[in-house]
Amino acid sequence: MISGIVLAAGTSERMGSANKLLLPLHGLPLAAYATRAALLSQVYEVLVVTGYQATQVEGALTGLPVRFVRNDGFADGLTSSIQAGVLATEPGAMGFLVFPADIPFVSSFGINDIIAAFRRVRPVNPKVIVRATWHKQPGHPVLFSSTYRDAILAHKGSDGCRDLVRRYRMHVCNIEVEGSNWDVDIASDLAAARENATPYRVRRAVTSPQKRE
């Protein structure tokens, strides 16, 4: 059972006054792409961690079969949102797929490739971390084995789990996933995304959870 954790709590400071996750991209709010890609993948559940403008972000995802998790400490940084998501996952999850909501060009197929690699490697290495890369550059999402649960919850840094990935790099399995290092941080990123083709098939309607293991 893989739990998907979509991180949608940040303040979008680099975008200026706008919350980038609410800005339109090909007819949908930016946050919808990562969320829908996760829903269309083989993850068991999708949790969306909100914080800054939580009501608006949750409203933008109305109708999607996700579970919202409020992170009241979102100002403490990305790590706090990952921790909130991990704490809210279903008991028995064997992995946590951590996926920032500002990456619109990763498809459900890419996520499934990550999950497939995790399932291949985990029986021989229970500590595996599967990381998406593109042209060998690190990207997202990252799938952590549940053996890192305590380490994630105890982590004190504010930059997510980069330090954990570096610390346990001997267990990292990199998988090439198109679009995995294209995030939207500033206005020019969004403009470039709008010039690109509609992000894969994640516009497909998602009305009910798929049966997942």
Short-list 171, 21, 202, 186, CA closest to 107 = 202
Number of domains in the chain: 1
Cα distances from 41 to residues 34, 38, 68, 172, in angstroms, run 11, 5, 18, 21
For residue 56, give the CATH number of its domain. 3.90.550.10
Taking the mean position of all CA atoms in its chain, how far away is CA 42? Answer: 14
pLDDT, greater one: 44 or 196: 44
Residue 202 resides in a domain:
no
Cβ neighbors of 2 (< 8 A, separation 6 or more) are 42, 43, 44, 93, 94, 95, 96, 97, 115, 118, 143, 212
Residue with tokens 């083709």: 197
Query: Could you tell me the pLDDT band of residue 201, with boundaries at 50, 70 and 90?
Result: very low
The mean pLDDT of 49-66, rounded to a whole number, is 95
Residue 8 resides in a domain:
yes
User: Residue 84 is part of which domain span?
Assistant: 2-195
Residue 207 resides in a domain:
no
Q: What is the pLDDT of residue 199?
A: 55
The pLDDT tens digits for 67-107 are 999 999 998 889 999 999 999 999 999 999 999 999 998 89
Residue 139 resides in a domain:
yes
The pLDDT tens digits for 146-192 are 999 999 999 987 778 888 999 999 999 999 998 888 888 788 878 88
Q: Is the pLDDT of residue 66 over 80?
A: yes
Q: How far apart are CA 49 and CA 5, in angstroms?
A: 7
Q: How far apart are CA 65 and CA 22, in angstroms?
A: 18
Residue 25 resides in a domain:
yes
Q: Is the pLDDT of residue 200 over 60?
A: no
Q: What is the pLDDT of residue 173?
A: 96
Residue 89 resides in a domain:
yes
In this prediction the pTM is 0.90
Cα distances from 210 to residues 49, 92, 183, in angstroms, run 21, 19, 27
Cβ neighbors of 88 (< 8 A, separation 6 or more) are 47, 67, 69
Short-list 98, 66, 104, 103, CA closest to 85 = 98
Residue with tokens 């996520």: 111
